[in-house]
Every structure is written in structure tokens, then in C-alpha cells.
Structure 1
Amino acid sequence: MRKLFFTILFLITITFNGQSIEKKNNNSEKQKVVATFREIYWNNLPKPKGWVNDYEGIFSDNEERKLDSIITNFEKETSIEIAVVTIDTIKVAKENFDDLSLHIAKTWAFGKKGKDNGILISFSKGYKKFRVELGDGTIKMLSEHETKEIIENDFIPKFLKGNYYQGMLDGIMKIIENLRAKIKKE
């Protein structure tokens, strides 16, 4: 009886250890696949489909159209281009979010040639990460300090409540308001 007990215990131990090794191998394989996917995404960014590129599916079609319309009207008025991209966690590791945002800004090259007057707003709901990239021409009108205040006071409060559309709308409207005021002074 004792021998049978130890035999069963031995088999259970082998089974659990075998499953642990198999899980480690599966996790390692998944990590390799994800890393490869992220590298392919980095090297083959999709072309922007408009001013709002919602790859996380945060906004409804109607919300996307409203944001796009506001940005389009502002661009026609001022030539300043504002783009929004939401980034799904599968596309980038959390620690590389800022790098991907900058890479998208450089690759998509929002802003008029010679004016460098683009702004890219990058957001990941999954990572709770947010970044605003300002072109060299835009940073002359909207300082990093002002941008930080807009992020903290206009975007983030609504995001924290889960109202991503309203936060994005409020933040974009505040950026537009500040830029209009600066343009009037010129």
C-alpha cells in the first residue's frame, strides 16, 4: 500500500513538472510570436486613414467622425494638423509606447512641409499611457509646460472616469483654443 502511494505521488509530481515545463515553453513561444508581430508592425506602420486612427476601438464611428471633423475644420483654418492614434497593447510593449508614438509621428509626418506644424496625440487605454508629440513649428506656439497642463486638466480627468471620447474632445478643444489665441497674437 505504501509503495502504491509513493508511486502515485511520483506520477503526480512528474505530471505537474511536465506541465510546468510545457507552460514555460508555450509562454516563451507566445512571447517570441508577439515580439515578431511588434517588430513587423513597427517596420510596416499602416497609413493613417484620417486624422483619427482608433486601433483600440475606443471610439464609436460617430465619435471618430466628430473628432475628425473638428480637426479638419481647424486644419483648414490654420494649416495646423492634429492627429490621434490609439495603440492596442498587442502592437507595442508598455516600455516602448513612447518610442512607438515618436516613430508614428515621424513616419506619418503630420504637419505642413516646411512648417512642421503637426501634433500627434497617442493613447493606449490598455496601458493607460498618453503622449502628445509636437512638431518643431507647433512647439513654438504651444510649450511643453502648456501641453502638460492640457493633458493633466483636460484629457486625463475624463479618461480616469472611462470617458475617453469626452476626454479626447476636451483636450483637443483646449489645444485648439490655445493655438488660436497664439495665432491671433502674431
Structure 2
Amino acid sequence: MRLAKHLASWPVLTLLWLTLALTGHAQDVPPRPNPPRLVNDLAHVMQPQEADALEQKLVAYDDSTSSQIAVVTVPSLGGSDIFSYAQKLYQTWGIGRKGKDNGLLILVAIQEHQVRTQTGYGLEGAVPDALAKRIGDQIMAPAFKQNQYYTGLDRGTDALIALAKGEYKADPADAQRRGRGRDNSGSGTFFWI
């Protein structure tokens, strides 16, 4: 009888331990800035005038389309994985228009050398994860390797805006290699070294 009671408590204790272990490593996202901004350089990797220029460009895009692109740099993910962190940040900050979910977040984690593009359902058709990842790999990452974060984000947002407007043209050879235009990477995360 005593052994049965003891064994019955193991699943509960294991679940409690796992919950504490997982939430202990999950970092809360920073609070939404007030007043809200589309460019939030929390890692301080851009000059103030660079962040302001990027902000002006993204506000103009938001005003002309109602779609939002937000850029957030963080010094570290604090042990979180970038996918979960970006998802939580996107939802907590309410990026995109309410009811349209037409936002796109570019999250740059400096210490981890990771970037994640988190796209709302309203922009997924225009900005698929595979093309967002390619823009990150081919346009942003080379600049980030040189510690030129503004240059990478400026050029990357230009390409993402063009993609959302239907003006960005993918390399036709890439489409042939993918077969029938599908890219199965399914990830908007990329790394730079």
C-alpha cells in the first residue's frame, strides 16, 4: 500500500519538475514600448540616427499598406529558443493590425547570432517563410557578419517590403531546384557566424 502511494506521486513530481525546469529557462519578452515603435534596438547595435531612419521607412510602409514590419534587437534570448521568443514577442506586442494579423517581426539575437522572421497569417501568402529565410541568408547575414546591423536590416526590410508588394523576384534557378515552386525549409530562422 505504501509503495503504491509512493509510485503514484512520481508522475506528479516529474511533471512539476519539468514545468519548473522549462519555465526557469524561458525568458519573458520585454514589455511593449510606450509609445509604440516599429524599430526597437534593445541591443544597441545601431546608431540612433540609423534606428530613426529605419523607423521612418517602416512607418511609411505601414501608413501606405496597413501592414507592419517591426524590428527588435535583443542582446540575448536568455536561454529561450528563438522560435518561441519571437512568437511570444509577436503576440504580446500585437504586431500587425488587429483582425488582419498582417505583421512581420524581425528578431535579432546578438549573442546567439540568430535571426527569426515571424510572419502573421495575413502576410504569409506574400511573405512565405522560405523566402524570408532566403532574404535573411543572402541579404542580412553578410552585413551582420561585418557587424553592420543597420545595413543588413535596411536592405533586408527593403527586400521584404518588395516581396510583400509582389516586386521581389526569386531566382528562377532556385524555383527549379525546389520543384514546382515549393521550398520545404519551413523556417524563418537563420544564423550568422
| CA deviation map 1:35-58 (0-9, x unaligned) | 97x76x61x731134001111111
Match of 1:29 in 2: none
Residue 75 of structure 1 and its aligned partner are, at CA, apart by 0.5
Residue 96 of structure 1 and its aligned partner are, at CA, apart by 2.3
Q: How many residues align?
A: 143
Greater radius of gyration (CA):
1
Q: Does 1:75 align with 2:86?
A: no
Structure 2 unaligned spans of 5+ = 1-22, 168-193
Q: Does 1:123 align with 2:108?
A: yes
Residue number among 60, 78, 81 corresponding to 1:92 in the alignment: 78
Cα distance in 2 for residues equivalent to 1:55 and 1:65: 14
Q: Is the 8 A contact 2:32 2:92 kept in 1?
A: no
Cα distance in 2 for residues equivalent to 1:45 and 1:60: 21
Q: Is the 8 A contact 1:119 1:138 kept in 2?
A: yes
Match of 1:169 in 2: 154
Match of 1:155 in 2: 140
Q: Which amino acid aligns with 2:55?
A: D
Q: Is the 8 A contact 1:92 1:100 kept in 2?
A: no
Cα distance in 2 for residues equivalent to 1:62 and 1:127: 25
Q: Does 1:103 align with 2:57?
A: no
Match of 1:63 in 2: 50
TM-score, L = length of structure 2 = 0.69
Cα distance in 1 for residues equivalent to 2:156 and 2:132: 10
Local SS of the residue matching 2:43: coil
Indicate the structure with greater helix content. Answer: 1
Where has structure 1 moved over 4 Å in runs of 4 or more? Answer: none
Structure 1 unaligned spans of 5+ = 1-34
Greater relative contact order (CA < 8 Å, ≥ 6 in sequence): 2
Cα distance in 1 for residues equivalent to 2:147 and 2:75: 16
Q: Which amino acid aligns with 1:97?
A: I
Cα distance in 1 for residues equivalent to 2:114 and 2:135: 15
Cα distance in 2 for residues equivalent to 1:170 and 1:70: 11
Residue 64 of structure 1 and its aligned partner are, at CA, apart by 0.7
Change (3 A) 1:124 1:71: same
Local SS of the residue matching 1:181: coil
Aligned-residue Cα RMSD (Å) equals 1.9
Q: Provide the identity percentage.
A: 26
| CA deviation map 1:3-30 (0-9, x unaligned) | xxxxxxxxxxxxxxxxxxxxxxxxxxxx
TM-score, L = length of structure 1 = 0.71
